[in-house]
Amino acid sequence: MSGTGDVLLELLEGNHSHVEELPDDYFADVQTGQQPNVVSICCSDSRVPQERMWGVDHPGAVFTPSNIGNQVWDEDEGEQIVDGGVLYPIHHAGTDVAAVVGHTGCGAVTAAYQVATGGENPGPQGVDKWVEMLVPVVEEALESDLVDTEADEETVINQLVEYNVDHQAAFLRESEDVPDDVDVYGFVYDFQGVYGNEHGRAYLVNHNGETKPEEIADRIPDEYETATQSLLY
C-alpha cells in the first residue's frame, strides 16, 4: 500500500466483498434490536479479532467495546466508573455475561510498565490518559508477590497482562452498576505462544473471581481443561 487512497480502495473493495458474501437473511433476526450473549471488552490491538476469536459469524452475538489495555473503566469528574460500552448491553440489551480479554505482548501494559518504572508517557494526551489509568494497576502488581520482577521484561509484561485482566474483572464484579447475576470471565488471547503452542487460544484465567487454573478446570468441561493456564498461579 502506497497511500491513503490505496487504503480507502481496500476498504471499499472489502466491504463490497462482505456485502456479496452475506446471505439474504443475515440480519433478519436483529433488524429491530439486539440481545448479545456476551459483552467482550478487548484491547483495541489490531491483532485481536474480537468476534472471530469466538468463532462468531453472525451479527448480534457479541457486544464489542474496546480500548487501549482492555480497561473496563473510565473517569468522570475524578470518579472511576464502569465504562458505558460495558454497561450498555448489560442494562439495555439483556446481556448477562462479561468477558475481559487481554492479550500477550500488550503495548498498553508495556507503556504503563515503563511509566511505572521511571519512563515517560508515550503521548499524545489521548493515549496518555489510558496509559495513566493502567499505571496504578501495574504498580500494585509489581509490589505483589505474583509478578516475578527479576524475570526478563517480556515475561514481566505478560504476567502484568494477566494481572490486569484479573484486576479489571474484579472491578466489574465489585461495581454496584453490574448486577450480581452477571458472570464475569477473564481471558488472555495468546498469539505468541506464551501460554502454550496453540496460537489464537483465548486462555481462561479468571472465572467469576477464581484464578487458580486447577480450580477453573473443575468448572469447565474436561475437553477444555488445557484452555485454562496462568502465568501468576
| Cβ partners under 8 Å of residue 142, min gap 6 | 116, 117, 149, 160
How far lies 5's CA from each of 1, 16, 18, 69, in Å?
9, 16, 20, 30
Q: Specify the pairing of strand 38-43 against strand 66-67.
A: parallel
Identify which of 150, 118, 115 has the alpha carbon closest to the alpha carbon of residue 134. 115
Backbone angles phi, psi at 42, to 5 degrees: -110, 165
Positive or negative, the Cα torsion across 157, 159, 165, 171? negative
Residue 106 assigned to a binding site: yes
Q: Is the peptide bond before 124 cis (omega within 30 degrees of 0)?
A: yes
CA distance 54 to 33: 22
Residue 167 assigned to a binding site: no
Residue 42 assigned to a binding site: no
Annotated binding site: 43, 103, 106
Annotated binding site for Zn(2+): 43, 103, 106
